């Protein structure tokens, strides 16, 4: 009896480092039943392509321009519910993991993981199960970003990345005055009074692309 052919698992790669994406593509497609159907270079594009392509899995870097991987995950799960998200990160810190899972990620994989572990993670989350790298420790502490709206998180990320109110407004389709309003409201919720403190907070909680 002929062997039953495996169902093809479609994958979207979202990372702004071309050499990493090329390596992931080769690794995944060597499996035969894993097919890379698109590549996004920032979080906003990852959300758009997920909505357009409806991949089975989106492998999303936690730190990307315009919209970080956490926010992109949240949007992908909202606009393409059938797409499972695997976060790829260099951070094993508990608060990063908690934010990713709270945003709807099905898995959290460290960049130092092996190729076979990546493939295993993809197969596990496609089945609707959760996958975490062995060295990842999950915290159940409160996420300080939970009090912020989506727009407030977007504004804070851009401001923390060094964008002016006008530049952030241009990227988000808002007026500089609206950006300032969102920024002030978010900082008040977080108890942050100045920009240096905001930048430190953003780095600590994975809200900025700065390392």
Q: What CATH number did the domain enclosing 19 receive? A: 3.40.50.2300
pLDDT of residue 211: 46
**pLDDT value at 78 more than 50:** yes
The confidence band for 4, taking pLDDT boundaries of 50, 70 and 90, is low
**pLDDT value at 209 more than 60:** no
34, 82: one domain: yes
Helices assigned H by DSSP within the chain:
18-29, 43-53, 69-79, 94-102, 115-126, 150-160, 165-172, 176-190, 195-204
Query: How does strand 34-40 pair with strand 131-132?
Result: unpaired
User: Across residues 16-32, what is the average pLDDT?
Assistant: 87
Domain endpoint, select from 132, 152, 175: 132
Domain count, the chain: 2
What is the C-alpha to C-alpha distance for residues 69 and 17, in angstroms, rounded to an integer?
14
The confidence band for 3, taking pLDDT boundaries of 50, 70 and 90, is low
What is the C-alpha to C-alpha distance for residues 22 and 15, in angstroms, rounded to an integer?
10
C-beta separation of 76 from 47 below 8 A? yes
Per-residue pLDDT tens over the stretch 85-95: 999 988 777 77
Q: Is 34 helix (H, G, I), strand (E, B) or coil?
A: strand
71, 114: one domain: yes
User: Across residues 189-204, what is the average pLDDT?
Assistant: 78
Residue 1 placed within a domain: no
Q: Half-sphere exposure of 15 toward its Cβ, with a 13 Å CA cutoff?
A: 22
Instruction: Quote the percentage of the chain above a pLDDT of 90.
Output: 37
149, 99: one domain: no
Identify the DSSP state of 131: E
User: Across residues 79-90, what is the average pLDDT?
Assistant: 92
39, 109: one domain: yes
Range of the domain at 162: 144-204
Per-residue pLDDT tens over the stretch 92-124: 777 788 888 888 999 998 888 888 889 999 998
Between 43-53 and 69-79, two packed helices, what is the crossing angle to 10 degrees?
A: 20
| Dihedral class, residue 164 (left if φ above 0, else alpha if ψ from -120 to 50, else beta) | beta
What pTM was computed for the model?
0.65
80, 148: one domain: no
14, 115: one domain: yes
* CATH code: domain of residue 161: 1.10.10.10
67, 126: one domain: yes
Residue 137 placed within a domain: no
């Amino acid at each position: 009896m002929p062997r039953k052919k495996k169902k093809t698992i479609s994958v979207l790669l979202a990372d702004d480092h071309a050499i990493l994406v090329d390596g992931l593509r080769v690794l995944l497609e060597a499996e035969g039943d894993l097919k890379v159907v698109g590549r996004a270079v920032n979080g906003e594009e990852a959300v758009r392509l997920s909505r357009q392509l409806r991949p089975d899995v989106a492998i999303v870097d936690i730190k990307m321009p315009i919209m970080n991987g956490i926010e992109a995950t949240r949007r992908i799960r909202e606009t393409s519910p059938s797409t499972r998200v695997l976060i790829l990160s260099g951070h094993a810190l508990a608060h990063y993991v908690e934010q990713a899972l709270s945003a709807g990620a099905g898995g959290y994989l460290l960049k130092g993981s092996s190729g076979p572990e990546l493939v295993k993670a993809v197969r596990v989350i496609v089945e609707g199960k959760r996958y975490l790298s062995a060295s990842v420790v999950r915290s159940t502490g409160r996420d300080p970003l939970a009090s912020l709206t989506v727009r407030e998180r977007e504004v804070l990320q851009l401001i923390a990345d060094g964008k002016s109110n006008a530049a952030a407004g241009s990227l988000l389709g808002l007026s500089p005055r609206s950006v300032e309003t969102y920024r002030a409201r978010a900082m008040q919720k977080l108890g942050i009074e100045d920009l240096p403190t905001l930048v430190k907070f953003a780095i600590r909680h994975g809200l900025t692309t700065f390392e």
